[in-house]
Amino acid sequence: MASRKSGARILAIVALTAVVLVMAIMTAAPRALADDAEVQAKALKQVERELRQLRADRARDRKLIEKLEEKLDQVQSQDSQIRTTNQQLQTSTKQLQNSNQQLQTKTDEQLKQIQAEVAEGPSERQFAKAIGGYMGTHQFTLTGAAAGDFVYDRQNGQNTFALTFEPLMLYRPKDWLLFEGEFEAAFDPGSGASFDAPVATAQIFLNDYMEIVLGIFDQPFGDWFEDQGPLWVNRFITAPLPFGTAALVPPSDIGMQLRGGYQWGQLGQDADYTAWVANGPSYDSSLPQPTIGQELNGVNNITTNTNGKAYGARLRFYPFPLDSKLGRLELGASTYNGKWQNGLWLNAWDVDFAYRRGNLQTRGEYMEAYRQMPAGSGPDNRQGWYFQAGYFLTGLRLPFLSRDLNSYLSRLEPLVRYSGVNQRAVVAEEISTTPGLGFNGSPSIFAPHAREVALGLDYWIAPSIVWQTEVDFELPRAGGTLYSFNGESTPSASSVGATPNDRAILTQFAVGF
């Protein structure tokens, strides 16, 4: 029963509590609901704010991320560029290293070469170039010749030593202009020396085929005056008769030349020409009047005696090609026409040849001269010629001679020459038999019909150093006239008749330098 009572009490309590609670709830509920809505609205707003904040944060973060991505891209790009540059730099470094190595090798080689060259000294070419650079383009050279003679002539019984020094000065200011001057110092009979300037020219090279020569020059008539005059070039000591004391044309002239050469065929087939105008001839003015057989002056410095000029031309022709192995043949022809007095002419012509093949050399000329004389006198006509031949004994070996003797023998050149002059007369006052360099002094040379056989023997020490020996046989023919003034103004004439033969010997040491 008690339990029933306690239970009821509990139920009552609970019920009471529940009633209280309901009543409390019933009274508190509207207010609580209102409060909850306000809280919820606040919370919602808070949430919204937070959401907005979150969205803003997100947007900012996204932008940041984008920026970061961009920066990352840039960094990656830069990194790529740097890598490429680095690679290029590495390649360049390698190339530079290679180049450096090559340069080092080359430098070492060049250094070694320079050291070797320095040790050896400069080559001639280098030295010449250096000297040439130092000396400049204007160039000067001295060449020429010198000779000493001993001469003996049987007929006049004279003998003498003689000496001549002929320096040739060449000056080239430009490669188209050359000045040339030859000065001759000769020791004539008596004391002291005589000086002459047989050649003084300016040579202007216009082109490959044409050249002008101005000044005093060797007469280009024939071949001898111009090409065979130098002491070491002439195979003999004396000149052939037509080019010696009784020259048919003046040995030198003052004027102007136009000359040149060209190849018309194969190599060696050439032709050349020389044309000139000059003061012309003049004759020995010490004679009272013009005379047949009168000697020509060496050169006519001033033409007051003629008021005219001389005109000359020479053509030469070389027919054989070099490869034909036929040797070198020269064929030439010359003319010379000059007034020696007003209205009076000296007309001359010449044909010449020269031939060289191996050890054989020959040359020869024939010429004629016609001198117009004043009224009342016959013509003064002359002819002259020479032929010479020589043979080098180079290569000759005689088995019975020693090697040394054979070597001396091979330097020898035996020679022979025949020359002659025909003229109608000679003048006694012009005969000079004093021997000198290149002149044997024989009176027989002054015969109107002089003939000479010369034998020579040249010993060649070097190409331009020679010891020459010559024996002359003078074999004049009878005939002709001898004019003699004997202090009078008019010469007396006498027939020459037979003239004795003569012999002379000359020996000469000549050096071309």
CB of 207 to another protein, least distance (A): 8
Quick one: which of 148, 167, 181, 261 contacts another protein (CB under 8 A)? 261
Q: Look at residue 305 and give its three-state secondary structure.
A: helix
Q: Which stretch binds another protein (CB under 8 A): 36-44, 45-53, 172-180, 426-434?
A: 172-180
Token output for 33: 């609901």
Site track 141-170 with another protein (rule: CB under 8 A), x = hit = x-x------------------------x-x
Residue 414 within binding range of another protein, rule CB under 8 A:
no
Query: In angstroms, what is the minimal distance from the CB of 197 to another protein?
Result: 16
Total length of the chain? 513
280 to 319, contacts with another protein by CB under 8 A?
316
Tell which one of 460, 483, 491, 502 touches another protein (CB under 8 A). 460
Beta bridge partners of 412: 459
C-beta of 43 vs 462, nearer to another protein: 462
d(CA 290, CA 101): 92
CB of 356 to another protein, least distance (A): 6
Give the ranges where 136-258 is alpha helix by DSSP (H). Answer: 224-227
User: Which strand ranges, in their side-by-side order, compose the sheet holding 425-427?
Assistant: 425-427, 481-484, 492-495
Q: Which residues have a Cβ under 8 Å from the Cβ of 226 and sit 6 or more positions away?
A: 217, 218, 219, 220
- The DSSP-derived string for 395-464 is T---TTS-HHHHHHHTTEEEEEEEEEEEESEEEGGG-----BTTB---GGGGSTEEEEEEEEEEEEEETT
Q: Is 211 in the site for another protein (CB under 8 A)?
A: yes
Cβ proximity to another protein, 235 vs 371, nearer residue: 235
Please report how close the Cβ of residue 228 comes to another protein at its closest, in angstroms: 7
Closest distance of CB 309 from another protein, Å: 22
Burial string for 43-66 (b: 16+ CB within 10 Å, else e) reads eeeeeeeeeeeeeeeeeeeeeeee
Q: How far apart are CA 367 and CA 314, in angstroms?
A: 13
Q: Is 350 in the site for another protein (CB under 8 A)?
A: no
Query: Does 262 help bind another protein (rule: CB under 8 A)?
Result: yes
**Rule CB under 8 A: which of 323-342 touch another protein?**
328, 330
Asked if 206 touches another protein (CB under 8 A), the answer is: no
By CB under 8 A, name the one of 272, 275, 347, 505 that touches another protein: 272
19 has which bridge partners?
none
Report which of 259, 424, 242, 261 is spatially closest to residue 348, judged by C-alpha positions: 242
Q: Pick one of 147, 151, 178, 367: the residue that binds another protein (CB under 8 A).
A: 178
CB nearer to another protein: pick between 316 and 382: 316
Minimum distance of another protein from residue 109's CB (angstroms): 23
The secondary structure of residue 290, as a DSSP letter, is -
Size of the site for another protein (CB under 8 A): 52
Stretch that binds another protein, among 70-78, 97-105, 246-254, 456-464 (CB under 8 A): 456-464
Contact of 295 with 428, CB cutoff 8 Å: no
Q: Terminal CA-to-CA distance of the chain, rounded, Å?
A: 180
Quick check: 473 binds another protein (CB under 8 A)? Answer: no
CB nearer to another protein: pick between 230 and 435: 230
106-145 residues near another protein, rule: CB under 8 A: 124-125, 128, 131-132, 135, 139-141, 143
Nearer to another protein, 305 or 335 (CB): 335
Shortest distance (Å) from residue 233 CB to another protein: 4
- Residue closer to another protein, measured from CB, 344 or 412: 412
Nearer to another protein, 119 or 267 (CB): 267
> Could you tell me if 405 and 396 are in contact, meaning their C-beta atoms sit under 8 angstroms apart?
no
By CB under 8 A, tell whether 260 contacts another protein: yes
- Which of 384, 366, 377 lies closest to 423 in space, CA to CA? 384
- Contacts of residues 228-234 at CB distance under 8 Å and 24 or more positions apart, as own/partner, are 228/363, 230/145, 230/166, 230/512, 231/145, 231/146, 231/147, 231/164, 231/166, 231/438, 231/508, 231/510, 231/512, 232/145, 232/147, 232/464, 232/465, 232/466, 232/510, 232/511, 232/512, 233/512
Could you list the residues that contact another protein (CB under 8 A)? 124-125, 128, 131-132, 135, 139-141, 143, 168, 170-172, 175, 178, 180, 203, 205, 207-209, 211, 213, 226-228, 230, 232-233, 259-263, 267-268, 270, 272-274, 316, 322, 328, 330, 354, 356, 361, 460, 463-464, 512
